[in-house]
Structure 1
Amino acid sequence: MERKLGFIFDHNKCIICNACVDACNKAYGNLNWRSLIVMPYGESKTALSIACNHCDNPTCMQVCPANAIEKNEMGIVRIRDDKCIGCGFCTWACPYEALKFNNEGIMTKCNFCYGRLAEGKGIPYCVEACPTGALAFGWIEKGEAEVDYLPPSEITKPRIVIKEPEIKESLKANVLHTKKEENYLGLLAFTIGSEFALGYSLFKLPFWSIVSVILLVASLLLSVNHAKRTDRFYRVIYNLKTSWLSREVLFSSLSILFYILSIVKPVFYYPAVVFLTAGVISSIMIYMLKSRPSWYKADTPVSFVGSIFTMSLPIVYFLTYDLTTIIPLVIILAIEIISNQMRSKVRTSLNIVSILLSLISIIIPEIIIIVEIMNIVSETKHRKEFYEKVIYYGLPKV
Structure 2
Amino acid sequence: MATQAAPAPRPLPLDLADVNMAAERIGGSLVRTPTLHSKTLSDLTGATVFLKFENLQFTAAYKERGALNTLLQLDEAARAKGVIAASAGNHAQGLAYHGNRLGIPVTIVMPKPTPTVKVTQTEGHRASVILEGETFDEAYAHARQLEASNGYTFVHPFDDPRIMAGQGTVALEMLADAPAIDTLIVPIGGGGLISGMATVAKAAERDIAVVGVEAELFPSMFNRIKGTDLPIGGDTLAEGIAVKEPGGLTAQVIAALVDDIMLVSERKLEEAVSLLLQIEKTVVEGAGAAGLAALLSDPERFAGKTVGIVLCGGNIDTRLLANVLLRDLARSGRLARLRIRLQDRPGALFHVSRIFHEQGVNIIEVYHQRVFTSLPAKGLITDIECETRDAAHLDRLIAALRAAGYAVSMVELD
**TM exceeds 0.5?**
no
Greater relative contact order (CA < 8 Å, ≥ 6 in sequence): 1
